Amino acid sequence: MKVPVRVAPSILSADFGRLAAEVAEVEAAGAEYIHVDVMDGCFVPNITLGPGMVAAVRRATKAVVDVHLMIVEPERHVAAFAKAGADIIAVHVEAARHLQRTLAEIRDLGKRAGVVLNPATPEEAVRYVLDDVDLILAMTVNPGFGGQRFLRATLPKIRALRRMIEDSGRAIDLEVDGGLTVETVPAVVEAGADVLVAGNAVFGEADRAKAIEALRAAVLG
Catalytic residues: 37, 177
With CB cut-offs between 5 and 8 Å by kind, which of ligand DX5, Zn ion, none does residue 99 bind?
Answer: none
- In the list 200, 209, 214, 216, the residue contacting ligand DX5 (rule: CB under 6 A) is 200
CA 52, CA 49: separation in Å to the nearest integer?
8
Convert residues 13-52 into a mask of x (bound to Zn ion by CB under 5 A) and - (unbound).
Answer: ------------------------x---------------
Tell me if 67 sits within 8 A of 41, measured CB to CB: no
Class of residue 22 by CB neighbours under 10 A (exposed 0-12, middle 13-18, buried 19+): buried
Q: Which residue is nearest to ligand DX5 (CB)?
A: 199
Q: Which of 5-13, 47-55, 72-80, 163-171 is the region at the interface with ligand DX5 (rule: CB under 6 A)? A: 5-13
38-67 in b/e burial notation, b at 16+ Cβ within 10 A?
bbbeebbeeebbbbebbbbbbebbebbbbb
Tell me if 77 sits within 8 A of 71, measured CB to CB: yes
The nearest distance, CB 37 to Zn ion, in angstroms, is 4
Displacement of CA 116 from its chain's centroid (Å): 8
With CB cut-offs between 5 and 8 Å by kind, which of Zn ion, ligand DX5, none does residue 147 bind?
Answer: ligand DX5
Contact between 68 and Zn ion by CB under 5 A: the answer reads: yes
Q: Which residues contact 182 (CB under 8 A, 6 or more apart)?
A: 201, 214, 215, 217, 218
For 41, the 3-state DSSP assignment is: coil
- In the list 51, 74, 178, 192, the residue contacting ligand DX5 (rule: CB under 6 A) is 178
The nearest distance, CB 40 to ligand DX5, in angstroms, is 12
List interacting residues with ligand DX5 (CB under 6 A). Answer: 10, 12-13, 35, 37, 68, 141, 143-148, 177-180, 197-201
List interacting residues with Zn ion (CB under 5 A). Answer: 37, 68, 177
